[in-house]
Chain A
Amino acid sequence: MTPALGYASIAVVTVITVLIGFFGVRVSRTTSDFYVASRTVRPWLNASAIGGEYLSAASVLGVAGLILLQGERALWFPIGYTAGYLMLLLFVAAPLRRSGAYTVPDFTEARLESRTVRRLTSVLVILIGWLYIVPQLQGAALTVGITTGLPRWVGAVGVAVIVGVVVAAGGMRSITFVQAFQYWLKLTAVAAPVVFVLLLHPGTRPALGEAIAGAFPTFSIADPDVVYRSVSLLLALLLGTLGLPHVLVRFYTNPDGTAARRTTLIVLCLLSVFYLFPVAIGMLGRLFMPELAADDPDALLLLLPSAVLPSPWAEAVTALVIAGAFGAFLSTSSGLVVSLAGVVSQELFAGSVRGFRIAAALSVVVPLVVAGLTDSAGLAGSVGLVFAFTASTLCPALLLGIWWRGLTARGAVAGMATGAVACGSAILFGWIGPDGGLAGALIDQPAAWTVPLATAVMVLVSRLDARRIPRGTERFLARLHVPER
């Protein structure tokens, strides 16, 4: 691969991102504009922005890589990543918008009337954000390393600097346009290789079936290990989406609860169309580059066009793919940094615009250090663990907070703390040394036991603490569920 192509694509997507980012600055005037775009973003624009923000390195590079590696078992990833939005639509979208809170900690504090809950939620949001940014930076390192030949850390530092500057300068208003653009860029980037390969290699489809059948013979359901892992992964992906801070902050930009629902429905459609292509790329990878599975499966999307397509097309599609991948790291990281900076600045700097800028810088530095210290081990898998952590902490607090009168501040704190400790230690043990057998499965995919545990603790402690049900509960729940005029 020629380095010039890599440099050019990365430069172009960066310049466009920065231009849209700064063009949007003119529209943001008040502090409220700066934080959540004054809640005046239309459903289509907002849905594209949510799609652009959500489709991270894990979706653009990781899903195709995992399908190349694991075959059918990995198909649960795109399904889970999309179905998470169904759960979000069913249980969270409209009530959360009607709560009128800016961030997740704002919501839990207003609902449970407790500063302690707020502080714990803030800590969790920051932890989740950091955990989620790390694989983005690792994906950037991989992409820059492969496409330009530069040392890998350059990619991680580059994305961190660009994101920090764009977010600190523009805030949310410009980010909305950046994200919406990024969705369509990413969709083009994953669709182009599939379309061109199928057009230029007419014999591909029949051969595809043989290659897949040869590599992954049967649909295994008898193996309890596979069943447990699949169920646990799906649970994490379905419920984890409910608590992702950078996704939730987007819902405050809807004008009302009904618009929040409509936005989520459009997001579901956008994601469904998007995920057809990483699956197809994984299948094409099985046919054309099966040797990559052992080596660097996350690089499949980047390497496939130049390996399969004839000369002028290979370069054009590769350039597009690099731009799309780099766009993924930029958009997801900037979305995360916006929501992290919102929380950090409200906690430490009383929500001023200057505080937001300092907080944005803080929010990229920590993950950068962690990304430098750790090694990427499968992008889709590490993002899956962040979902498990979110599903075990913020998700039960949000669900019970929205639907159950009996939740108390102590119950929420106990449940979130239990979930964080249980799931956090599983993730740490997984880093230290993965183990086979049942223990290995429980540690690799902790959601199936940590989510019920955290929820049970939350309900049980709230029940024991029933005298301390917040006095405003009835009124607050009415506000969440009663339609606006």
Chain B
Amino acid sequence: MSADAPADPPRPRVRVTAPRHPDAGTRPPSGAVGGDPAGLYVRSLIRSQLRLAIVCAVAFIAVLIAVPLTFALVPELDAASVAGVPVSWIVLGAGLFPVLIAIAALYVRTSARNESRYRSLADDA
């Protein structure tokens, strides 16, 4: 490849101008990462872990908000009871814990997958 380059001068000129334009808006102009694939992989790992954490947190908070809203909007459900215990007590006193554990388990698996993807990228580089 390096033998081809000096033999064909116009091509490098095209390749230098091409990447500058589409990247201008998306990549921060910091020099810290420039030309350093390891730093790039780390940044993308951090971004994907943060995104995952926020999605999980928002999912749980949505469930938290939905529960009292449902009971307020459907009074019959609030008045109902199962085996003598009101439904709202069962949901708040016990029902939210499995949801919590499910979200946590999902996070543990997915975050580990993000890390193994990072590992294979970093090992290839």
Which residues of A are found within 8 Å of B93, using beta-carbon distances? 75, 78, 276, 279-280
**Interface presence of A294 (CB below 8 A):** no
A209 close to B42 (CB less than 8 A): no
Interface residues of A in 202-241 (CB under 8 A from B): 205-210, 212-213, 218-219, 221-222, 230, 234
- Contact A272 to B32, CB < 8 A, known contacts A75-B89, A89-B108, A262-B108: no
Partner of B83 from the list A72, A205, A218, A474 (CB cut-off 8 Å) is: A205
- For the complex, give the distance between the alpha carbons of A219 and B46 in Å: 41
B107 close to A89 (CB less than 8 A): yes
Which residues of B are found within 8 Å of A387, using beta-carbon distances? none
Q: Kindly supply a per-residue 1/0 record for chain B positions 5-31, scoring 1 wherever the CB is within 8 Å of any chain A CB and 0 otherwise.
A: 000000000000000000000000000
Which residues of A are found within 8 Å of B112, using beta-carbon distances? 258, 261
A82 close to B46 (CB less than 8 A): no
**Interface presence of A19 (CB below 8 A):** no
Partner of A283 from the list B89, B104, B105, B116 (CB cut-off 8 Å) is: B89
**How many B residues face the partner with a CB closer than 8 A?**
45
Which residues of A are found within 8 Å of B88, using beta-carbon distances? 72, 219
Which residues of A are found within 8 Å of B83, using beta-carbon distances? 205
**Interface presence of A356 (CB below 8 A):** no
Which residues of A are found within 8 Å of B46, using beta-carbon distances? 403, 477, 481
Partner of A205 from the list B32, B85, B92, B98 (CB cut-off 8 Å) is: B85
A481 close to B45 (CB less than 8 A): yes
**Closest partner residue, chain A, to B91 (CB atom):** A75
A86 close to B92 (CB less than 8 A): no
- For the complex, give the distance between the alpha carbons of A481 and B93 in Å: 35
> Distance (Å) between the CB of B61 and the closest chain A CB?
8
B104 close to A94 (CB less than 8 A): no
Q: Kindly supply a per-residue 1/0 record for chain B positions 67-109, scoring 1 wherever the CB is within 8 Å of any chain A CB and 0 otherwise.
A: 0110110010010010111101100111011101101110110
Greatest chain B CB density within 10 A among A91, A205, A230 is at: A91
Interface residues of A in 103-141 (CB under 8 A from B): none
B115 close to A82 (CB less than 8 A): no
- For the complex, give the distance between the alpha carbons of A272 and B100 in Å: 9
Size bracket, chain A contacts: 35 or more
Partner-binding segment picked from A263-271, A319-327, A359-367, A431-439: A263-271
Q: Kindly supply a per-residue 1/0 record for chain A positions 81-105, scoring 1 wherever the CB is within 8 Å of any chain B CB and 0 otherwise.
A: 0110111011100100000000000
Q: Kindly supply a per-residue 1/0 record for chain B positions 45-68, scoring 1 wherever the CB is within 8 Å of any chain A CB and 0 otherwise.
A: 110011001001100100010001
Which residues of A are found within 8 Å of B96, using beta-carbon distances? 79
**Interface presence of A12 (CB below 8 A):** no
B86 close to A213 (CB less than 8 A): yes
Which residues of A are found within 8 Å of B84, using beta-carbon distances? 205-210
- Contact A268 to B101, CB < 8 A, known contacts A209-B86, A212-B89: yes
Which residues of A are found within 8 Å of B94, using beta-carbon distances? 276, 279
A474 close to B85 (CB less than 8 A): no
Partner of A234 from the list B64, B107, B122 (CB cut-off 8 Å) is: B64
**Interface presence of A482 (CB below 8 A):** yes
**Closest partner residue, chain A, to B52 (CB atom):** A90
- Contact A86 to B104, CB < 8 A, known contacts A79-B92, A219-B72, A474-B32: yes
> Distance (Å) between the CB of B45 and the closest chain A CB?
6
> Distance (Å) between the CB of B87 and the closest chain A CB?
10
Which residues of A are found within 8 Å of B78, using beta-carbon distances? 218-219
B39 close to A261 (CB less than 8 A): no
Partner of A86 from the list B32, B100, B118, B122 (CB cut-off 8 Å) is: B100
Which residues of B are found within 8 Å of A275, using beta-carbon distances? 97
A221 close to B71 (CB less than 8 A): yes
A72 close to B92 (CB less than 8 A): yes
Which residues of B are found within 8 Å of A207, using beta-carbon distances? 84
- For the complex, give the distance between the alpha carbons of A83 and B111 in Å: 19
Interface residues of A in 140-164 (CB under 8 A from B): none
Which residues of B are found within 8 Å of A219, using beta-carbon distances? 68, 71-72, 78, 88
Which residues of B are found within 8 Å of A82, using beta-carbon distances? 97, 100
Which residues of B are found within 8 Å of A16, using beta-carbon distances? none
**Interface presence of A27 (CB below 8 A):** no
Q: Kindly supply a per-residue 1/0 record for chain B positions 30-45, scoring 1 wherever the CB is within 8 Å of any chain A CB and 0 otherwise.
A: 0010000001001001
A483 close to B50 (CB less than 8 A): no
Which residues of A are found within 8 Å of B97, using beta-carbon distances? 82, 272, 275-276
> Distance (Å) between the CB of A464 and the closest chain B CB?
19
> Distance (Å) between the CB of A290 and the closest chain B CB?
16
A265 close to B105 (CB less than 8 A): yes
Q: List 11 interface pairs A-B (beta carbons < 8 Å), by A numbering.
A: A72-B88, A82-B97, A83-B64, A89-B108, A90-B53, A207-B84, A209-B81, A261-B111, A269-B101, A276-B97, A283-B85
Q: Which residues of A contact B (CB under 8 A)?
A: 72, 75-76, 78-79, 82-83, 85-87, 89-91, 94, 205-210, 212-213, 218-219, 221-222, 230, 234, 258, 261-262, 264-265, 268-269, 272, 275-276, 279-280, 283, 403, 474, 477-478, 481-483
Shortest Cβ-Cβ A-B pairs, 8 listed: A272-B97, A209-B84, A90-B53, A221-B72, A75-B92, A206-B84, A279-B93, A483-B115
